[in-house]
Amino acid sequence: MEYSTKKNKNATVDLTVHFTAEELEQGFQKAYEKARHKAKVPGFRVGKAPLKTVEKLLGDSVAEDAINFSLNEGIIEFFPKLDPKPFRMPKFNVDTFDRTKGFTAKTVYLTYPEVTLPKIKKVKIEPYQVTPSSADIQKELEAIQKNMGRNVLKEEGEVLQTGNLIEMSYKFSLEGSDLPAESTNGKYQIGDERNPQGFDENILGMKVGETKTFLYTYPSEFPISPESAGKTYQYEITCTAAYNVNYPAIDDDFASEYDGSENLETLKSKLQESLAKSSTEELKKKSMTEIYNKLIDDAKFIIPDELIAEEAEFVYQTMFEQYKIPFISMEDYAKSTNSSIEETKEKFTSMGLKRLQGYFLRQKIAEEEKLSVPEEELKQKLEDVAKVYGQTYEAFLQSLQKDGRLGTIQENILMEKVDNFVYESVEKKNPKVINLEEASKILNGEKQV
């Protein structure tokens, strides 16, 4: 067996493999042995015919199996020697075949994407340190107070008021189109700050048990549901039940009931610490996104087109799973978004490429910095997680191995180490102290990091 390679510029390699007639013949013998167990040979029970008899009966009809046997054995020998290393096992196509001369098979295999890293230390960021204000703490206490509210059922026929929590069945459709046949059930609190502006006015004054039909035009800017912005919908709402919500006073008893705090000041201190920590971590994650975007822009990548196409398709399909909507073809999706199929393909190709660049960039950093997850470190992490789930380490490990998730967890731990290395390596200015409201604006994209 002989093989030759030719490296291409797009992270692929042309591979040609030639098997001699003798090597091919060994494949034929294995193919005949395989066929003998099922071949119906006159005068013999199934599986009992001599191999020579099976060979005469089948001739070259088992050539495909013979080639596969030869390739599979050959791959074991030459695949580990290939340089560059294949990203995955390719499919071969038979180029020439002659039982007296052997056969030649060809393929184009994908190599691992090539990444040239930029200087990580040249990236500059301004980190943030969140210190919640007294107003931030009060707002959090009020949110807790709302969750601890007790619902008191209103009587049939009572009028709905601001602050009432209502249970309703509803239908809606774009103005001018028919309402759906089936209603949807849901809950809605009148006066909630997240409600669409002006929507409550259509419900205030209704009575428990009443049905009302009305039109509502969404604001021209509506980030919660951008596809509804500026559009007018018709609604049919039936209030099936309503509750007055009684909230506890924010005092020492409130703190004790919430989490066992000794008094309100103790609870405030806990909230101060937890909010500062969680918000600072969220800002760090946002900074990491910015850091990686800069690194990706400055890095050089050679990624096989086949991988990019596969990732684009993955991103497209995942979109439907994430939003739990029926799958449609990309052509139909393009029509529904008033885009051309070319624009749509380019959109998902760009998204797929960005995901691959981020993944292989981090892998390259791990390789160059010799970052790894030693066995003892992995075991400690798994033991900690197992305790959370109330399992023994052995049982948890076995379940991960059975489900094929162990490698994913190990890679997640490695990527966490890469992220920490990158964050510590970039140039950071002195942390800017901000309050929780400012942090929320940054996280929502209202201010730039």
Q: Please compute the mean of the pLDDT values over residues 84-100 and round it to a whole number.
A: 95
Q: Please compute the mean of the pLDDT values over residues 114-121 and round it to a whole number.
A: 96
Mean pLDDT of the chain: 94
Between residues 102 and 437, which one has the greater pLDDT? 102
**In this model, does residue 87 exceed pLDDT 50?**
yes
Q: Among residues of the chain, what percentage have pLDDT more than 70?
A: 99
- For position 242, what pLDDT does the model report? 97
Domain boundaries, the chain: 2-112, 150-246, 279-443
Tell me the pLDDT tens digit for each residue of 191-216: 998 899 999 999 999 999 999 999 99
- For position 447, what pLDDT does the model report? 61
As a CATH number, domain 279-443 is 1.10.3120.10
Tell me the pLDDT tens digit for each residue of 325-345: 899 999 999 998 889 999 999
Q: Are 165 and 187 in contact (CB under 8 A)?
A: yes
Q: Are 312 and 344 in contact (CB under 8 A)?
A: no
Tell me the pLDDT tens digit for each residue of 240-280: 999 999 999 999 999 999 999 999 999 999 999 999 999 99
Q: Are 241 and 151 in contact (CB under 8 A)?
A: no
Tell me the pLDDT tens digit for each residue of 44-64: 888 888 999 989 999 999 999
- For position 43, what pLDDT does the model report? 85
Closest to 443 (Cα-Cα) out of 210, 284, 321, 264: 284
**In this model, does residue 86 exceed pLDDT 80?**
yes
Tell me the pLDDT tens digit for each residue of 171-188: 999 999 999 999 999 999
Q: Please compute the mean of the pLDDT values over residues 137-160 and round it to a whole number.
A: 94
As a CATH number, domain 150-246 is 3.10.50.40
- For position 226, what pLDDT does the model report? 86
DSSP bridge partners of 153: 243
- For position 45, what pLDDT does the model report? 86
**In this model, does residue 448 exceed pLDDT 70?**
no
- For position 70, what pLDDT does the model report? 96
Domains 2-112 and 279-443 share a fold: no
**In this model, does residue 430 exceed pLDDT 90?**
no
Q: Are 322 and 375 in contact (CB under 8 A)?
A: no
- Band (pLDDT 50/70/90 cuts) for residue 402 is very high
Q: Does the model's pTM come out above 0.75?
A: no
- For position 449, what pLDDT does the model report? 45
Tell me the pLDDT tens digit for each residue of 271-303: 999 999 999 999 999 999 999 999 999 999 999
Q: Who's near 364: CB < 8 A, 6+ residues apart? A: 115, 117
**In this model, does residue 446 exceed pLDDT 80?**
no
Q: Please compute the mean of the pLDDT values over residues 140-146 and round it to a whole number.
A: 94
Between residues 447 and 436, which one has the greater pLDDT? 436
**In this model, does residue 139 exceed pLDDT 80?**
yes
CB-neighbour burial class of residue 130 (10 A; exposed 0-12, middle 13-18, buried 19+): buried
CATH superfamily of 2-112: Trigger factor ribosome-binding domain (3.30.70.1050)
